[in-house]
Amino acid sequence: MAYSIKEILLLTDDLIFVDKVRKILDAKYYNLTVSSNLPDKFFSAEKNTYSLFIVDILSKSFNAIQLIDKIKNYNPSGEGRILVVSQNRKIENIVGPSPRVSGYISKPVDFDELKSAVKRNVGESKKILIVDDDREFSDLLKMFLDAQGFEAYVENNPKRAVEAVKNISPSLIFLDIMMPGKDGFEVMQELQDERKTASIPIIVITALKFESYQDRGMLTGLPEMIYKDIDEKFLLQQIEKKINEEVSQSFVGDSKPRVLLADDQTELLILVKETVERAGFEVFTASDGEEAIKVVYESNPDIIIMDYNMPLKDGLTAAAELKENPLFAHIPIIIVTAYGEKQAKLKGLSMGIDDYLIKPVDTDELVARIKMVLKRNKQVLDTNPLSRLPGNPSIQSRIERALSEKKKFAVLYVDLNNFKAYNDVYGFEAGDRVIKATANLLVKITMPNEKSGDFIGHIGGDDFIVVTSYEKAEEIALKITKSFDEIAPSFYKKEDLEKGYITSLDRQGTLKRFPLLAISVAIVHNGLKDLTSYAQISNIGSDLKKAAKAFEKSAYVMDKRKN
């Protein structure tokens, strides 16, 4: 059988990292090109044949984010084939047995967490130095610290960071890790080499999370990984996963359906996993009912196959919890059991279980059942195909349930400002990324874990809805507006960010300047007056949204009327 060799472009200036990648790739299947910039071949008339771009996020000879944008803009089909990763042995400064930092804050910043970190680490002096090449973010941080009564200084040039520390003698340093020319690891090392600066506490503040996918990447579609020493097996798995995704998309047109397999029999689990993967599915696994629920929350699978008899939570108990959660109630579930009791099956069917299989499982039959259930579910699924959030029927049902419970509750209407103009200028694919990012942001804020009782729905387009308790509504709205403003710059080209606007035609066909994307939140609640119907709530929400959109930047408006 003939194999087509896959072309991989590795963008890095780290020779150790290059050796690691070369070592794990089999030359029979992969041809590796290494460069510290995009080679001429990339810009050739016939585009390029790269199946994967591996970008070292901490390279000093180029700006990794700009390079990634260049790949996306010049070769849009390559967007899903970018693996952002890095290996840096100096990470010991942060995560080692004796870390040299006093705190760690990730972007987008939780300002309550930031306030606590400053309080824990600042000394008698109120001087704080921010070292970050991101001018917009460092200015935002400075404004926040100044408002808290501190004396904040900013240094955007990492090469002048050590000199700035010596001149200012701050009580605390905020230090970004990802900076061109000199990264935060080098700055830390130089500070440690001198007695005058070695004892100053450092809080690392960055878009990266160490040894895990980071939040900003999850929200913007750019997952980033940084390791002290990347496990070779893991790196190969990530490369092959990206390559296979590209092959699957080129033939099928869609990403692989995601399947969760939950069974406490490890050998059987491995056997079934391999069979289902060979059939073209992406497979996640869990060994008990509790773990299954967590994996569902993390991976949002398209279908769940669960053993009936598992420790901690049996299959039916776990299924019942998922069916009660509006975010996951639409996911079809197949129960696998060695039990033939009629009552157990009836109980499952009454809960909405989609199918049953009896052990020992015929794997060919399992694959056929999975395909059948997915096809059937796709026809009746009440979810938005882009965000995978519940749609209008579920939204109306959830609000009517809240009305019938006679408890205090709030409905948040969430809408993007200037989205049409953004869509017109950047295109539908970019617009879809913004919608997905907004959906992920709402899930992260409103449902921080699998036990949250709140509801999130997608009305359509750039309109979303959140149903929560009256007590939490304003706090959630504030987090939504703050967090969206922190990720919004990542949706724009540098020149548009610097201008602060884009130019497009309005609905009347007139050329006009539009501000950058912002988010509006309207809070409808029964804390001051009774709410009686879904239509009433919708009408109030529409009025409040107009008020929220009157602000130039992201804002929320809470209904203060008593009648």
Distance between CA atoms of residues 504 and 425, nearest Å? 7
Q: In what order do the strands lie in the sheet with 333-337?
A: 282-286, 258-262, 303-307, 333-337, 355-358
Q: How far apart are the first and last CA of the chain?
A: 76
Tokens of 466: 């959140």
Q: What is the mean pLDDT of residues 231-260?
A: 67
Does position 289 have pLDDT exceeding 50, yes or no? yes
Distance between CA atoms of residues 425 and 132, nearest Å? 30
Which of 279, 345, 276 lies closest to 305, judged by CA? Answer: 276
Distance between CA atoms of residues 343 and 55, nearest Å? 55
Which of 134, 112, 258 lies closest to 184, judged by CA? Answer: 134
Tokens of 279: 């059939």
Q: Cβ of 440: how many Cβ atoms within 10 Å? A: 19
The whole-number pLDDT of residue 340 equals 58
Does position 469 have pLDDT exceeding 70, yes or no? yes
> Which of 292-301, 387-396, 450-459 tops mean pLDDT?
292-301
Distances (CA, A) of 156 to 59, 135, 141, 350: 18, 7, 13, 61
287-291, 435-439, 445-449, 512-516: range with lowest mean pLDDT: 445-449
For the question of whether the overall pTM of this predicted structure is more than 0.75, the answer is no
Q: What is the mean pLDDT of residues 216-226?
A: 49
Directed axis angle between helix 534-549 and helix 392-405, to 10°? 110
The whole-number pLDDT of residue 152 equals 92
Q: Which residue reads 């809240």 in tokens?
A: 402
pLDDT single digits (tens) 84-117: 777 766 666 655 545 567 777 766 666 777 888 8
Distances (CA, A) of 175 to 146, 152, 154, 548: 17, 13, 10, 35
136-150, 370-384, 394-408: range with lowest mean pLDDT: 370-384
More confident residue, 245 or 90: 90
Exposure of 61 by Cβ count < 10 A (0-12 exposed, 13-18 middle, 19+ buried)?
middle
The whole-number pLDDT of residue 386 equals 80
Which of 88, 107, 118 lies closest to 189, judged by CA? Answer: 88
The whole-number pLDDT of residue 75 equals 57
The whole-number pLDDT of residue 262 equals 92
Q: What is the mean pLDDT of residues 362-387?
A: 75
Does position 3 have pLDDT exceeding 60, yes or no? no
User: Using an 8 Å Cβ cutoff, are 99 and 115 in contact?
Assistant: no
Backbone angles phi, psi at 29, to 5 degrees: -115, -25
Per the prediction, the chain carries an average pLDDT of 81
User: Residue 312, Cα to own-chain centre: how many angstroms?
Assistant: 29
